[in-house]
Structure 1
Amino acid sequence: MQQLTVKLSIPIPADSVLIGRVELEDLKRQELSGVYWSMQDLERRVSKGQVWIKENILYQPRFKKVLDVAHGGFVFYPKAKGQNWSFQASKMAEFLDKRFTDIFS
């Protein structure tokens, strides 16, 4: 069997660093840890308006029982006029990633 050994140098710009995938994921989680989104933050993340988000995510029975803090979830559903929506950012981001197909199909 023949074998070829190659030495390769790849320059990395001074303003860049290489990190492992696991470390990157940890950094992303830490970034959202302890952060709460408003409805406007969620609109920016999903690139949809409040009406669409409510109809397709928040008030969908299959999602609401997972999301609502009243059921152990991570979304505060306003109970009175004037109260604001509140979303635990890290868990909402994870939910959106995992349920992307369910939400948009």
Structure 2
Amino acid sequence: MQEISTNVVIQFPSEFVLITKLEFEELKQHELTGTYWSMKDLERRTNKKHDWIKEHILYPERHRKVLDIEYGGFAFYPKSKGQTWSFHASRMAEFLDKNFQAIFLES
């Protein structure tokens, strides 16, 4: 069997960078760091309307005990008119990922 070897030079435009898959995953993981979601953000992320989100995710007691900041969670539940929902984005995303089956099977 014969073997041929060659060197190839590939040029990337200066606005591109080449990183490892591990670095890419770490960047993706940190993209939500320091970010808060509103109810509208949560609607976009879940592709569900706020009524469904409240009924199936936010108000069931089993989830509220984990989510509500009053219980040490990462979601602010409005207490009076004019206040808005607020969610710690990275922790909420993690909660949604970990509880996907429970949320949809119990719907």
Give the TM-score category using the shorter length. 0.7 to 0.9
Distance 1:75 1:19, change over 3 A: same
- Equivalent positions of 1:1-105 (< 5 A) are 14=12, 15=16, 17-21=18-22, 23-105=23-105
Distance in 2 between residues matched to 1:59 and 1:13, nearest whole Å: 53
Query: Quick one: percent identity of the two aligned structures?
Result: 57
Distance in 1 between residues matched to 2:29 and 2:64, nearest whole Å: 23
Segments of 4+ moved more than 6 angstroms:
none
Greater Rg, structure 1 or structure 2?
A: 2
Distance 1:13 1:57, change over 3 A: farther
Q: What is the CA-CA distance between 1:26 and the residue it aligns to?
A: 2.1
Give secondary structure in 1 for the equivalent of 2:87: strand
CA RMSD of aligned residues (A): 2.5
Q: Which runs of 5+ in 1 are unaligned?
A: 1-6
The Cα offsets for residues 23-69 of structure 1, whole Å up to 9 and x where unpaired, read as 33321232101100000000000000000000000001110000000
